[in-house]
Amino acid sequence: MKRSLRAAFSMFVCVRIRELGCQNRKRGAHMLPLQRKQALFAYLADKGAATLKEMSVHFGVSEMTIRRDLNALERENLINRSHGGAVYRTPAAEEGRDEPALTTKASSNRDTKNRLAAYAAQHFVRSGGTIALENGTTVSRMAEHLEGMDEVTLLTNGIDTLNLFRPYASEKRTMISCGGLFRDKSGTFVGPEAERFFAQYHADVLFLSALGYTHESGFTDPNLLDTQVKKAMIRSAGQVVMLLDSSKVGQRFLTQVAALDDIDVWITDEGLEEEERMRIREAGIDLHVV
């Protein structure tokens, strides 16, 4: 992500990063490794780059501890190590070649996606409930079908979902968005701040999608930052509904969003082969073909 874009959205992370910095200096080595790693990633995302000495002083731990955390973040393709420090790895640098542009995804199978979105909104959203929508081009269309809900709370990490739901927002139709690092290619907020947001809320139902599915790898996407937030959304939900049209089946991408048994319901179209339908139903998934 370019520094100018990162600066434009730094308001979503700077307050929390300052809080983490104060806490880290007090707790130092008493932080859990995962907490420290997430805080370190957020620090690099805000700064762009930092030296080992700088990070050691900021977090109140040894340079050796910082080095181990940086090695772990580098293995996850989130940062790049440099001589004596580390550099935040921009989403543009870590995206797979296979990820289509958002406009391309939005125009693909438009009628099918709209049908799946309308069906999901009609059959799985209850008035008075709390739902989570990610920013997939199928799921975000659900926002246009929530006008008839007397009362609903929507949680999301997606700009497109927010924009589509905004005309229907009211005192009783509420939308709550996470902050985080803005990833332009997917129109989503990602990173530790976004993941922490969903850990603080509970959604009755989560609606999500992916770019691919195979029986061996489950549901997959090209970008690790997006999949990490989707995993956090899954953990926060009472029921998980996957909207995935048949054109995605047989495609596999870099990182797993979810295994088949992580979801409860799969909404798809008539193009799904009978053999796949049987496999999915045998796994105990509530399959809806519309």
Q: What is the pLDDT of residue 105?
A: 47
Q: Which of 59, 94, 129 is the C-terminal boundary of a domain?
A: 94
Q: Which residue has the higher pLDDT, 191 or 22?
A: 191
CATH of residue 195's domain is 3.40.50.1360
Regarding whether 179 and 281 lie in a shared domain, the answer is yes
CA distance 228 to 199: 12
Regarding whether 225 and 159 lie in a shared domain, the answer is yes
Each residue of 36-70: pLDDT tens digit?
888 898 888 777 778 899 999 999 999 999 999 99
Residue 57, domain extent: 3-94
% of the chain with per-residue pLDDT over 70: 82
pLDDT bucket at 187, cuts 50 / 70 / 90 = very high
Q: Which residue has the higher pLDDT, 70 or 76?
A: 70
Q: Which of 44, 67, 94 is the C-terminal boundary of a domain?
A: 94
Token reading at 163? 């924009």
CA distance 90 to 80: 9
Q: For the chain, how far is it from start to end, CA to CA, in angstroms?
A: 38
- Over 70: is that where the pLDDT of 233 sits? yes
How large is the average pLDDT for residues 132-160?
93
Q: Which residue has the higher pLDDT, 32 or 115?
A: 115
Regarding whether 132 and 81 lie in a shared domain, the answer is no
Written in H, E and C, the secondary structure of 195-259 is HHHHHCCCEEEEEECCCEEECCCEEEECCHHHHHHHHHHHHCEEEEEEECCHHHECCCCCEEEEC
pLDDT bucket at 108, cuts 50 / 70 / 90 = low
Regarding whether 147 and 79 lie in a shared domain, the answer is no
How large is the average pLDDT for residues 101-110?
54
Regarding whether 215 and 175 lie in a shared domain, the answer is yes
Q: Which of 68, 94, 120 is the C-terminal boundary of a domain?
A: 94
Q: What is the pLDDT of residue 61?
A: 92
Token reading at 191? 């990173």
Regarding whether 37 and 115 lie in a shared domain, the answer is no
What's the number of domains the chain is made of? 2
- What distance separates the 2 farthest-apart alpha carbons in the chain? 59
pTM of the predicted model as reported, rounded to 2 decimal places: 0.67
- Over 80: is that where the pLDDT of 209 sits? yes
% of the chain with per-residue pLDDT over 90: 58
Q: What is the pLDDT of residue 246?
A: 94
Regarding whether 271 and 165 lie in a shared domain, the answer is yes
Token reading at 111? 């009628």
Cβ-proximal residues to 36 (8 Å cutoff; 6+ apart), any chain: 24, 59, 61, 65, 69
Regarding whether 250 and 135 lie in a shared domain, the answer is yes
Regarding whether 261 and 144 lie in a shared domain, the answer is yes
Choice among 44-48, 87-91, 248-252 with the minimum mean pLDDT: 87-91
Regarding whether 60 and 32 lie in a shared domain, the answer is yes
Of the candidates 143, 164, 163, 142, the residue with the CA atom closest to the CA atom of residue 243: 142
123 touches 265 (CB < 8 A): no
Regarding whether 52 and 173 lie in a shared domain, the answer is no
Of the candidates 62, 39, 54, the residue with the CA atom closest to the CA atom of residue 86: 54
Token reading at 223? 């970008």
* SS3 at position 81: strand
Regarding whether 119 and 43 lie in a shared domain, the answer is no
**What is the sign, positive or negative, of the torsion defined by CA atoms of 43, 176, 108, 218?**
positive
- Over 90: is that where the pLDDT of 91 sits? no
- Over 60: is that where the pLDDT of 285 sits? yes
Please state, rounded to an integer, the average pLDDT across all residues of the chain: 84
- Over 60: is that where the pLDDT of 290 sits? yes
